[in-house]
Structure formats: structure tokens, C-alpha cells
Amino acid sequence: MTAFERNKGKDLRGQQVFLRPEESSAPAPTSRQSAVPSEQLQDALLRLAAVVDARSLRAALQDSIRELLPSTECVCLYMLEGDSRLLSDDPPHELPPEGKIRSIVDQLKRCQCAGLPLPELPEKYRICLAAPLPAHKRALVIPILNQERHKAIAVLLVGCNPLSDQDELHLNTMEKHASVACIRVQAVQTSYQRPPLSPSPIQSHNALLHLNVSDQDYCELDRNILQLCGELFDLDAASLQLKVINYLQQQTQSQCCCLLLVSEDNHQLFCQVVGDKVLEEEISFPLMFGRFGQVVEKKKSISLQDISAEERRQLSSMLGCEISSMLCVPVASRATGQVVALACAFNKQGGQRHTEADEHAIQHCFCYTSTVLTSTLAFQKEQKLKVECQALLQVAKNLFTHLDDVSVLLQEIIVEARNLSDAEICSVFLLDRVSHELVAKVFDGGVVSDEEKEFRIPADQGIAGHVATTGQILNIKDAYSHPLFYRGVDDSTGFRTRNILCFPIKDENNEVIGVAELVNKMNGPWFNRFDEDLATAFSIYCGISIAHSLLYKRVHEAQFRSHLANEMMMYHMKVSEEEVSKLLVVGIEPVMEIHPCFAEFTYTPRSLPDDTTPMCILSMFEDMGFINTYKIDMHTLARFCLMVKKGYRDPPYHNWMHAFSVTHFCYLLYKNLGLSNYLEDIEILALFVSCMCHDLDHRGTNNSFQVASQSVLAALYSSEGSVMERHHFAQAIAILNTFGCNIFEKFSRKDYQRMLDLIRDIILATDLAHHLRIFKDLQKMADDGYNPKSRTHRSMLLCLLMTSCDLSDQTKGWKTTRKIAELIYKEFFSQGDLEKAMGNRPSEMMDREKAYIPELQISFMEHIAMPIYKLLSELFPGATELYERVAANREQWTKVSHKFTIRGLPSNNSLDFLDREYELLQSQGAFGSDDQCLNGCLEDAEGGRGQ
């Protein structure tokens, strides 16, 4: 991660990537087996990752096929030789250059058929591969591809049973790993194809005879070098260097010598031994460090006079002593002719300068020892590669054990990536294709808390964005000189970003799903080619593990949804045709026949009998013009209304009567405030339907209880927040998807999607936490003036209207308000009892032993209800009476509070005794005259239809 990305907004170290799961209606896998690779597949992948030669590759491929496809009868393997020849060694033969098999291979796709042509097959395989095969047998042609060259580098002919879907998935994964293994083996083989040898030591020795060196000196040199060669039997490169350096110090009479080894990619020098000391950590620096790069390029020796004072100071620091003289001689490989090391001698004894004879002695030494040294370094590199392969195998095991939790998996990826590459900092971004952003919550292995937001950057900007867009690895040796790097944050924080290795993480379809970024190589000047190869291999494991982890999460979500759907079906019954016909038999009743005051704010819908409410819903649909405007089928609408009514459970407050009251208040807003001048028709319909569905399947407990009790709902929705509200929306969608209940079936695809989006946003707005988050924006909208052309203003207004509908019982008369408080606290105290039974401490309002109802009600009305209706009255002057009635009810709670001498509810769970106080105060004119009838609740003796 760049310094800019690390420091944007907040210190993001120790944070975790979170990807929001896509909301999709596509069916998810239903078994864990499809989400987590089988043990056979893991063994096959690990076997392929370990091969380093053609022989082990052939065995690994054949064993992998037999393990993944237990029904396999035979496996014939061809390997690419040259540009087009495909050769097999069992028995030795070549795949015909023309024919059916070759044409299948040229298509570069796996093929399953009923048999292959007999003449194209060796006799050994004809019985299990030749056409025609029995119905229960199949012949497979599996090309292993080099994607960059777009050609097959190996071909497998397999005789087995027909493939299952699971077999297809396993083969897809195996083929990608087989491709990597084949390419790796080819690269290893290429590295061993040596060019013509350079002159032998004897020829090199003779070439030196023209120099001014006596025969006696050469005899002495030969004796010494033969003795040295006899001691060079170590397999450890550092031990060999110690012996060679000691020899050079004696021959050149130098205080100290060292070898600067040239890395394979020719981009850096590194030193493992200085004098008689093996360094704990090798020292490395850029190849272009001073004049040393020219020595490698021109293959000419230099002395102390040829280097600058700064280079001299750095060498003195490395050696731990002042330098008075120096000789640097290039050492060429006899196999390639390329410079593989620089032999350096420092501080000749007696304060003298190094002579031409010293240079000859060094050259003579490496005529005999360079081959041993380079071979040992190659062996050491192979050993290092073996260790790294074993480390990759361990990484694979570690990653595949964390598939059940994406957060933990991403932390593991960061830790493993840093350890493999010796990077100072690592971060991982996942690609959100919906918003086209790179998302991160993980930095340096930590996880952000739920309260903090994930870090997001555009998917096409910066270094990470470039890699996500191109899908190519990017190795930046000097961050400050790269055009995509922003160094402003480094300047302000003091952190220095030296180099960056950024690589893509791809899924099994070779599509980018994320980006990993390594910053500052710790044991080198920058990330080298070896790090790039390691990152490429590592990214394959990352891609597979992340893809399977997300799939595993979707499987679990599908299981939770299935369980939830079964629970709902067990609780609710379907609506019968008889019920629908009974509701529609007399037609839709006009609203004025329900009650003369039905369309006035003073009307209390709770006065209606429960069995008349579905007809009232139809009446409101008709009166608002929705049925004609949107051509809603009457039977569909009736069935939808009855299904929604049955979708509510029967807790004291959050039941169907509450939903009906909220829906009626939405109707009142439409009739009295002229919503058509503020919102589009489709938005008003969405608000009305949302009011009906906003508390579907409410269990009488709130969001915090769902999380604390680790309920099915919490498991499904807690990562997104607003647990119950998301469940209410999901239930609404479930009803719409029920046969004969989709009242939006005649909408266009665009309008249908918009309707669902509106309903989702409006129902989520019933979470009071959401309302409190946007209240300042709502106030600003009211202060600046509402703009009906602004989509943002309309969206915020819908949220405000939904909240005002949800709390509309507070706008009715005192008896209704008092009765609602009684129902609410019955529900609250039931939850508090459950929390106590779980061993948790409920909040004060949920605790029947601590809750002081008047104080809680006054606080709720002052801080929640009154500000809402005050804001509503600022936007709609016609809503002023609503605010005044809420304020009057708040005042009444203050006046009757002296009647409360207990905590919680009375023993009979009733607040009826407060009405007597109210009636007394009203008779004394405390509330003025009330010409309009305020309907009470259903339980009131005088309440009823037509009151």
C-alpha cells in the first residue's frame, strides 16, 4: 500500500477488508462440498506445486488425474517438444500432427467424447480410449495451456466414467495449476541449457603467459590454487566464499577481501561474506551503485582512484574500516561469459597500492574456482527455491483452513505475503464490481471495528487501480520517480516509500477480484524477479481461497435463508381463494362509508375491527388512484393485502394493527399535505406499500437483542446493520414473489427495479438509528428549501415521512397515546425478561424493575417525536396540528406523572388509571374545547366502526 493510501482519512494500519455480499436472486450452492475444495483436490494441487523436473511432472499429472477421477482406467500424457511436437514416453511415440485428437487440442478446450479414432492411439490405450466406448465410459482430451502463448504445452488422454459437475470444477482448478507447473519445469530446463564453454583453465592459463609474470610465480600460483581447489568441497556458498576470500587475501596481501555477487536478474549486487566473517544478513545494493555497474558491463577492473568519495564512504561503512587502497576485478562465468561476481581486495599491506600482479592472481584464482562457485550458488538457489515451494505449500494449507471467514483469511494472506517477500508493509484490496471501487478493511493484519468505515479508492486510479485494471503485476523500484505514486503523505508523515510490488489476485476464470500491495523490501534495495515469481504463485492460492471463501459465505447465507423461509412457512398459512373472493364479493367500499372523518388527522384507525382492515386498505388504494394508474389486478391486490396481514405475528405492539395505523397515516399525509407536489407517483406508491410491510414478521424484539442472542436473523444480516429492517424487507420481497401476489407485475423492468429499491430504502429508514444519522441533513434541507427536482431531497423526504408515519400514534388523542405506551412497554418488558434469562442486563426502558414510564415517554417525545413533527410542519404548513398534538400529549405526561409511584407497569399491566386524571383535567378546561371526536383504541367501550 502506498503512503498516500495508508494515510488517507485516518491511520488505516491494522484494518480489514470487507466486501459487501452481492444481493442476487441466483440460487447458491447448497452443500459445503461445493464451497470447500476436497482433500483429493488439495493433495493434487500440492503435488503439482512441488514438481521441478519433467519426470516428476509426468508422475504428478497422472497421479492427480487418478486421484480426482477414481474411475480412471488409463492416462496417456504428451509433453510439448519444440514448437509443435507432442511426445509421450509410455510407450515412446508422437501424437499425429493431423487427425481428430490434434484438432481437439487445437481448440484449446477440454473435450469429453464417446471414443477416439483407433489409428491415432498406441495399442496400449486402445481398449479404454478407442471408439466406440460403452455408454458408461468416456474419453477425455485435456489440453494444458500456456495462456500467454495461446497453445497447448501438454495433453492428457483419459479413459474414465462420464464427468459430474464436481469433477468439472476440480478439473478446471487442476488444469490451471498444471499449466503453472509445466511452465515452471520448462523454465528450469531452459536454465540448464548451457551455451558453448569458454576457454578451459589451461587455455586461460596460457593466455596469461604474455604478461610479465615469471614461471616460478606461476608454479607457485598453480600449487596454491590446486590446494585451494582441493578444499572446495562445501555445498554451502558462504563456506566456499570464506576459503576463496582467505586465499585472495593471502595472494594479494590485503587486509580484507569480499565477493559482490551479481543477482540473476542483473539488477542488484549482494554480499554474504566480508573478510573472515559471514554476515548475519546479506548486504545488497543497486547494480548501478557507483562504478561497479560499469565493471559488470565493461568487464574491466577498477581501483580506489576510480570511485567517488561517497562510494568510498559507503564501502568503508560496509567493511567497518577506512579504505586506503582497493582493487575490484570482474569474475565471469565460464558457462555464459557473463559477469557473476566482483572480487574486491582492500588495503594492501604496507600501505601500498594493488598491482597488476594482484589482478592477475585474482583472475588466475577464478579461472579454476568460478565454476565451483557458480555451481554452488545455483545449488543454493535450488535449495532456496525448494524451501520457498515448501513455504508455498504451507501457505496453501493455512489459507484453505480459513475459508469460513473472509476477514481472518485476508489477515492470513497479509501475514503470509509479508513473510514470503520480506516486505515492510502489505495491504489487500478486493474489487467491488458494483461500485467499481477497491475496498479494504485489512492493513498490516488488523481488522477495523464495526463502527469504522472500510477504505475505498476508485478501481482505476493509483498503483493498485492500475494493476486492477490491467491485471498485470507492477514492480516499482523507485516509488518517488513513478508517475502513479503520490508522495505528499510521505512528506507529511516522515515515512519513506522506497519500492512497491503490486500484483493482481484473480479467480478461477482469470478475472481480477483483488489486488495485493507490498511496500519496501526489507533485505534488498527493491523487489526482484524472484519476488515477482513468488507473488504470481502466491496470488493463485489467494485467488482460489478468496473465491471459495466468498462462495462458502454465500452457501451459509443460503442455508440461513432456507431455514428462515421454512420457519416462515411453518408459522404462516397461505391465503385461500375463498378468502380473496370473500373480500371482493361486495366490491371496494368508498372511504367516506368507512367513517366521515376517515381522511382527517384526528381519526384513529385503531378504532376499526381487525377483520375490516383489509377492505380499508383496498379503499385507500382506490381513493389514491393507484389501482387505475398502475393497472393493478384486484385479485392480486386482495391476495397481497391478506398475505401481508398474515405476515405479521402478534406481539403487543408491532403487529398488523400497528402496520395498518402507519399505512392509514400515510394516506392522511397524501390527502392533507398534497404529497403529489413533492414526490413522484411511484414514490408515493412505494411509501404506501412500505408502510404496510415495514414491520413484517416482527418478533417483539429489537436489533440489539437479535445480535446478542445470535439469532438466525443476526447471522444473516448483522454484517450489514439494521437486522430487523432488512428482514422486514426480505419478507416483503418473499410475499411479492409468491404466486398471485405481485402487485407490480405489470411494471416495466426499470420501474420494477426502482420500486424495489425505493421500498428497501424506505423500510431501512424505519431504523431510528438511521433517522438520527440523517437528521442534520433533513434540517438543512428544510432550512435551504425543498427542491422536488432533487432526487436526494425526495429520498430524504421519503425517509422523514416514513418515520413520521411509524410514530403517528403520538399525534392522536391522549387515550390513544396512553394505550400505545401500555402496549409498547408490555413488549419492551417481555424482551427485558428474555435478556435477563440469557444472563444479560437489559437497558432501563426494557427493565420492568427500573423503567419509569412517564420520564421515558417525556424524553422520547422531546428528543425524537417532537423534532420529527416540528420538521414536518416546517416543510408542510398543514402538518402544524400534528406537532401541536404531540406537544399536548407530552404536556399531559408531565401532568399525570405524579400518579406514578412505581417502576414499570402496574400489576394489571394497564395504564387506564391515567385516563381518570385526564378526564378530570379536561372537564376543568385544561385542554380547551375539542369539537372533533378523537377515536379511542379498539378496547374502548365506545370505540368501534362508525363511531
Distance of alpha carbon 218 from alpha carbon 207, whole angstroms:
12
Backbone dihedral angles phi then psi of residue 678, each to the nearest 5 degrees: -115, -30
Which is the catalytic residue, given 654, 658, 664, 698?
654
Q: Residue type for 873, please?
A: S
Q: By three-state DSSP, how is residue 480 classified? A: helix
Edge-to-edge order in the sheet of strand 74-81: 92-94, 85-89, 74-81, 151-160, 138-146, 111-113
Handedness of CA 621, 623, 624, 626 (dihedral sign): positive
Smallest Cα–Cα separation from 546: which of 442, 686, 669, 689?
442
Helices and strands: H and E segment counts in the chain: 35, 20
Long-range contacts of 164-171 (CB under 8 A, 24+ apart): 166/33, 166/34, 166/38, 167/68, 167/69, 169/34, 170/37, 170/38, 170/40, 170/41, 170/44, 170/68, 171/68, 171/110, 171/142
Q: Residue type for 759, please?
A: I
Tell me, yes or no, if 572 is annotated catalytic.
Answer: no
Smallest Cα–Cα separation from 125: which of 162, 99, 91?
91
Q: Residue type for 324, please?
A: S
Identify each DSSP E strand in 161-276 by its residue range. 254-262, 268-274
Contact 2, 479 (CB under 8 A): yes
Q: Are strands 111-113 and 85-89 parallel, antiparallel or unpaired?
A: unpaired
In order of 238, 392, 422, 423, 519, the CA distances from 522 in angstroms are: 21, 20, 6, 6, 9
899 grid coordinates: 400518579
For residue 289, how many other CB atoms are within 10 A of its CB? Answer: 17
- Residues pairing with 661 in the sheet: none
Distance of alpha carbon 153 from alpha carbon 82, whole angstroms:
10
Distance of alpha carbon 56 from alpha carbon 48, whole angstroms:
9
Q: Which residues contact 449 (CB under 8 A, 6 or more apart)?
A: none
Q: List, as one string, the DSSP characters of 821-852.
A: HHHHHHHHHHHHHHHHHTTPPPPGGG-TTT--
Contact 692, 666 (CB under 8 A): no
Distance of alpha carbon 260 from alpha carbon 300, whole angstroms:
15
What secondary structure letter does DSSP report for 140? Answer: E
Peptide bond into 91 cis (omega under 30): yes
Peptide bond into 854 cis (omega under 30): no
In order of 264, 581, 751, 904, the CA distances from 635 in angstroms are: 78, 8, 22, 46
842 grid coordinates: 437489559
Which amino acids are annotated catalytic?
A: 654
